[in-house]
Amino acid sequence: MSASAKLPPFDPADPLGLDDLLEPEDLAIRDTVRGWAADRVLPYVADWYEKGELPGIQDLARELGGIGALGMSLDGYGCAGASAVQYGLACLELEAADSGIRSLVSVQGSLAMYAIHRFGSEEQKQRWLPRMASGEVIGCFGLTEPDIGSDPGSMRTYAKRDGGDWVLNGRKMWITNGSVAGVAVVWARTDEGIRGFAVPTDSAGFSTPEIKHKWSLRASVTSELVMDDVRLPADAVLPEVTGLKGPLSCLSHARYGIVWGAMGAARSSFEAAVDYAKSREQFGRPIGGFQLTQAKLADMAVELHKGILLAHHLGRRMDAGRLRPEQVSFGKLNNVREAIDICRTARTILGANGISLEYPVMRHATNLESVLTYEGTVEMHQLVLGKALTGIDAFR
Ligand SMILES: Cc1cc2nc3c(=O)[nH]c(=O)nc-3n(C[C@H](O)[C@H](O)[C@H](O)COP(=O)(O)OP(=O)(O)OC[C@H]3O[C@@H](n4cnc5c(N)ncnc54)[C@H](O)[C@@H]3O)c2cc1C
């Protein structure tokens, strides 16, 4: 008998056998999140996307809290305490449904909750984290400003001490979950350097106009944060960090989730392309029977599963406490760029149907335009890697 007779069959859904890397508990978490997204997002998301809304976001947040997806890799305070790999698998399954849903979860867990968990006082953690883990309170994270994006060290939002209080003034732009949030983690310049503040969104002087007319992440809430003499008590400041390393460490955690999530959007588009290629006939045969289509599918599969392998490797490093920010940049740069390429190639295989919301590929492709830009643009991650490779800072 030849050695190949003992080989497991080739699985088109897992051509590299990457599921071998997963424990039963990892698979169970993945199945739970996949099942939730199949029930609660996939049947509706094209409609939400077309209308440019995310109706019932509070209910969705509570359900996501119910399956442990909010602040998933954090410990205590009602959080699931999952591994980084498990959190990554959840991000992949959520983004396979829609990047907007994964963004809701990333901003809640990796940005707002992570900031409070890592840099907050015990009182701040008790006040916010259990209700954020259950989805009762939605959080947002305000770093970007109308004139300040890639260079957050130049931010203008300012917090000034006034007796025992802080008074916050400024504007934040492009803030995911902004107008549905109960708490906003806002980063502001102070006389002591950049500080983070846990701002209750019902504070006087705080408003959140929603940003409309987006052609990407349409099933996601994006808002401005306007702060006009917002008076906060002394204990609103996150006590454990001063300086840009605060927001940057939160971003590194969120970017890690994107490394996995982008592959979810890619997987969904790839699967749509394979299905279509097998059933659509031209010139008397399925288009999947043409070598040019097969070359596209083979290249897409190679990049998709290489990307998942890379995400898994980074997850293991994070679980071992050995993941460097430059490695996260490596992952985000590669996986979002490749995911968008996979979606665009899938779009070509679907021909004219590729532009229809009847299929997910154009929705994923346009969503990924935001993912390519937020949490550090492609160019920022190239500069991070360029600096790490050469020792020369080319940011300015
Ligand atoms: C849908 C969506 C949701 C978002 N959610 C949030 C959120 O929740 N919280 C938040 O704080 N922000 C959020 N953002 C903002 C996002 O993080 C910023 O858009 C991003 O950091 C880029 O900033 P910018 O858009 O101002 O672009 P800019 O910084 O103005 O960059 C414009 C272009 O110039 C390039 N560039 C800039 N500097 C250099 C340089 N030194 N060398 C080479 N090229 C350079 C950039 O790479 C980019 O290509 C969101 C954005 C979107 C689209």
Give which of 376, 377, 339, 333 is closest to 360, Cα–Cα: 339
Which pLDDT does position 116 carry in this prediction?
98
Has residue 297 been placed in a domain?
A: yes
CATH number at residue 302: 1.20.140.10
Q: Is 144 in the pocket of ligand 1 (CB under 6 A)?
A: yes
Say yes or no: 262 and 366 in one domain: yes
For 84, 202, 377, 386, the CA distances from 94, given in Å and listed in that order, are 15, 30, 22, 31
Mean pLDDT of 281-287: 98
CB atoms within 10 A of CB 161: 13
- Cβ distance 105 to 114 under 8 Å? no
Give which of 105, 121, 98, 126 is closest to 269, Cα–Cα: 98
CATH number at residue 85: 1.10.540.10
Lookup: tokens for 324: 């460097």
Mean pLDDT of 341-356: 98
Tokens 């497991």 label which residue?
8
Say yes or no: 384 and 261 in one domain: yes
Percent of the residues in the chain that have a pLDDT greater than 70, as a whole number: 99
Q: Which of 134, 157, 187 is the last residue of a domain?
A: 134
121-169: pLDDT as tens digits: 999 999 999 999 999 999 999 999 999 999 999 999 999 999 999 999 9
Concerning whether 192 is annotated as a catalytic residue, the answer is no
Between CA 182 and CA 104 the distance in angstroms is 14
Q: Which of 103, 255, 366, 373 to mutate to test the pocket of ligand 1 (most atoms within 8 A of CB)?
A: 373
Say yes or no: 250 and 379 in one domain: yes
Say yes or no: 130 and 152 in one domain: no
For residue 264, give every residue at least 6 positions away whose Cβ sits within 8 Å of its Cβ, in sequence order, or none: 91, 92, 93, 94, 95, 96, 97, 102
Instruction: List beta partners, residue 189.
Output: 158, 194
Q: How confident is the model at residue 384 (pLDDT cuts 50, 70, 90)?
A: very high
Say yes or no: 252 and 385 in one domain: yes
The catalytically annotated residue of 23, 369, 375, 379 is 375
Question: Nearest 5°: phi and psi at 145?
Answer: -125, 170
Q: What is the number of the ligand 1 atom nearest to the C-alpha of 147?
A: 26
Which pLDDT does position 1 carry in this prediction?
54
Q: Which of 200, 215, 236 is the last residue of a domain?
A: 236
Mean pLDDT of the chain: 97
Q: What is the number of the ligand 1 atom nearest to the C-alpha of 148?
A: 26
Say yes or no: 277 and 359 in one domain: yes
Is pLDDT of 112 > 60?
yes
151 CA distance to ligand 1 middle (Å): 9
Helix ranges (H only) for the chain are 24-40, 45-51, 57-66, 84-97, 99-106, 114-119, 122-133, 245-279, 291-319, 325-349, 361-373, 378-390
Say yes or no: 369 and 255 in one domain: yes
Which pLDDT does position 2 carry in this prediction?
60
Q: How confident is the model at residue 63 (pLDDT cuts 50, 70, 90)?
A: very high
187 CA distance to ligand 1 middle (Å): 16
Which pLDDT does position 379 carry in this prediction?
97
- Cβ distance 227 to 158 under 8 Å? no
Q: Which of 202, 236, 270 is the last residue of a domain?
A: 236
10-58: pLDDT as tens digits: 999 999 999 999 999 999 999 999 999 999 999 999 999 999 999 999 9
Q: How confident is the model at residue 5 (pLDDT cuts 50, 70, 90)?
A: confident
Say yes or no: 128 and 144 in one domain: no
Has residue 5 been placed in a domain?
A: no
Q: Is 215 in the pocket of ligand 1 (CB under 6 A)?
A: no
227-283: pLDDT as tens digits: 999 999 999 999 999 999 999 999 999 999 999 999 999 999 999 999 999 999 999
Mean pLDDT of 339-362: 98
Which pLDDT does position 4 carry in this prediction?
60
Domain containing 80: what range? Answer: 18-134
Mean pLDDT of 348-358: 98
Say yes or no: 26 and 114 in one domain: yes
Say yes or no: 203 and 270 in one domain: no
378 CA distance to ligand 1 middle (Å): 10
Lookup: tokens for 20: 């071998």
67 CA distance to ligand 1 middle (Å): 32
Overall number of domains in the chain: 3
Instruction: List beta partners, residue 139.
Output: 183
